[in-house]
Structure formats: structure tokens, C-alpha cells
Amino acid sequence: MKMNLVKRTFRLSVIILLPLSILSAFIEWKKLPISILVGGILGLLNLRSLARGVERLVGTNRPTGKLLFFSILRLTILACILTILLVYRLVNPLGILIGFTVVFASIIKEGLKSAKELPED
């Protein structure tokens, strides 16, 4: 049974994020490992919200006000969380960036893999 694109991306991201955060503990124990995990979790939550929005959009012919509102709300919440974490220096900015990058790279990899699996017409 095939897993869908979002589930495969989640799985790949977790497989990369956990060992990466463990290895980063040898570089900087205090904030880097948790920062990588926080960046990855925020990236994965953002991906899940985006996927749900796209699923709702597929049923309509045009974006609805509700969909646009929730997209802006999602990005605003993400920006607020990142701002709070960075202003209070609870996380390492490089770690957050690494976490987001892992999720982004996983999305690209799984998207390309999924595109290759599509049957040609």
C-alpha cells in the first residue's frame, strides 16, 4: 500500500531530523539539538496545514475567503512562534534553519519521487 506524499515526507523528515539533532548535541549541547527539532516540527506542521488547505481548494473552482484567511492565519501563527522563540533566545537560529531545510529538502525529494511514479499518458 502506497503512503501519500505528506506521510512519506513526514517519515523521511523524522528519519533525518532525529539523528541530525543527536549528532548536533556534540557541537552545541544547549540549544542546537532542540532548535533543529523545533524547526523540523514547525516545518512539518506548516506542511500539514498547507496540505489540508490544498485538499479543500481542490473541491472548489476558486480560492474562498475562508481558505485565504486560514492561510494568512497559519503564516501569522508561524511568524509569531518563530519571533517569540528568537526574541527570548530559546532556540538557535541556525538550528531552526536546519530543521526547516530538512523538511523542505524532504518535500522536494518526495515530490520528485512521486512525479517519477506517475504514469505517462
Q: Is residue 33 within 8 Å of residue 22, measured between CB atoms?
A: yes
d(CA 78, CA 58): 24
Tell me what the pLDDT averaged over the chain comes to.
Answer: 89
Q: What is the pLDDT of residue 68?
A: 81
* pLDDT higher than 50, residue 11: yes
Q: Is residue 17 within 8 Å of residue 99, measured between CB atoms?
A: yes
The whole-model pTM stands at 0.87
Q: Is residue 102 within 8 Å of residue 40, measured between CB atoms?
A: yes
When comparing pLDDT for 29 and 70, which is higher?
70
